[in-house]
Amino acid sequence: MLKRIQTMMALLVATLVLIAPAVAAEDVLTPPELSFGIISTESTSELKKNWMPFLQDMSAALGMPVKPFFASDYAGVIEGMRFKKVHVAWFGNKSAIEAVDRANGEVFAQQVDVDGNPGYWSLIITHKDTGLESIDDVIKRGKQLNFGNGDVNSTSGYLIPSYYLWTVEYGIDPKQHFKTVRNANHSANLMAVAMKQVDFATNNTERIKKFKKQNPALAQNIKILWKSPLIPSDPLVWRKDLDRELKSRIKGFVLAYGRSGDNKAHELKVLAGLDLAPYWDSSNKQLIPIREIKYAKEKMKIAHDENISTAAKQEKLKAIDAKIAEVRRFSDMMNRY
């Protein structure tokens, strides 16, 4: 009997070995060139200038063309990955969640800023001449003020201030509370504040640092009203269905870049142009705290929505609680390894 079972198992294994390559070949993505998505934090020309040296080095290391993919907003890069027009991308944490959930994405590396910080901070900024001294002043003068909000898929420009400030601390809807609300990227919001086109806006410490270098005179007009808790640094995300050997070479390049070898000095200079130090290894685990904030914000919005019936609220809140529980189970599982 044992011999018969062993024979059957051997036949099954042989069958699976024969079948597996044909099945896997349909699912594995092997692009002739790599498309690298870059989120719209500033103008395309500025992003291209800063990122091209890194992408050129990646192309040489991988032995294949690596082309930048730009879009007018974060959603464009997410959709690019969803439809296989983007294979690897730099995202913020919130947009990375969308890429993981909707575009078959997976986090594989994490940025570290040039000073070695594994994170950055969301900010609320204003012009030094507005007379605004605190967020309390912003709230009090609500209907008099024009607000420069961030891209809706931005972690620091939208999610973090929306959660910590407008939802938890003050319980307001910015669109109802302020005179006008317009959404733009970090660079546009900084310039709008510096030129008094909006009264206050969201931003982050990374973009402020670049702005001070690029526009030192205008930067003197910027005053910080609020600083968030630390946000994990931005991740790099690839499509999960990329060829395994190609993913191994991509990750090897990214994690080794600026750490060792004959080109170390050059690579560190390229990273410094991006205000970065060498990358750290990472995974989807880094998105867990951002997911919890996202779901908590959704719960508060539903709980305060007077247009939803009690029964509908309970159903929606139950569904979000299930998602939160799933995130926490995943977190517990990851912490065991």
For residue 181, give the nearest of 244, 138, 235 by alpha carbon.
138
Q: What is the rounded CA–CA span in Å between residue 140 and residue 129?
A: 17
Per-residue pLDDT tens for 285-304? 999 989 988 888 788 778 77
For residue 223, give the nearest of 199, 240, 244, 247 by alpha carbon.
199
Q: pLDDT higher for 125 or 332?
A: 125
| Tokens coding 142 | 């609500």
Question: For residue 118, how far is the Cα from the chain centroid?
Answer: 14
Same fold, 27-118+233-283 and 120-231: yes
Mean pLDDT for the stretch of residues 141-169: 94
Q: What is the rounded CA–CA span in Å between residue 199 and residue 144?
A: 9
Q: Which of 3.60.70.12, 3.40.50.850, 3.40.1410.10, 3.40.190.10 would CATH assign to domain 120-231? A: 3.40.190.10
pTM of the model as a whole: 0.77
Mean pLDDT for the stretch of residues 242-248: 98
Ordered by start, the domain boundaries in the chain are 27-118+233-283, 120-231, 289-335
- Give pLDDT, residue 330: 61
Residues 77, 38 contacting (CB under 8 angstroms) = yes
Residues 156, 92 contacting (CB under 8 angstroms) = yes
Per-residue pLDDT tens for 179-196? 999 999 999 999 999 999
Helices (H) and strands (E) in the chain, counts: 14, 13
Q: Which residue type is seen at 35?
A: S
Q: What is the rounded CA–CA span in Å between residue 89 and residue 309?
A: 41
The three-point CA angle 53-59-65 to 5° equals: 115
Indicate the pairing of strand 105-113 with strand 276-281: antiparallel
Residues 308, 336 contacting (CB under 8 angstroms) = no
Judged against a pLDDT cut of 90, whether residue 24 lies above it is answered with no
Per-residue pLDDT tens for 67-94? 999 999 999 999 999 999 999 999 999 9
Q: Which of 3.40.190.10, 2.40.280.10, 3.30.565.10, 1.25.40.10 would CATH assign to domain 27-118+233-283? A: 3.40.190.10
pLDDT band at residue 333 using 50, 70 and 90 as cut-offs: low
Tokens 């044992």 correspond to 2
CATH number of the 289-335 domain: 1.20.58
Q: What is the rounded CA–CA span in Å between residue 323 and residue 114?
A: 35
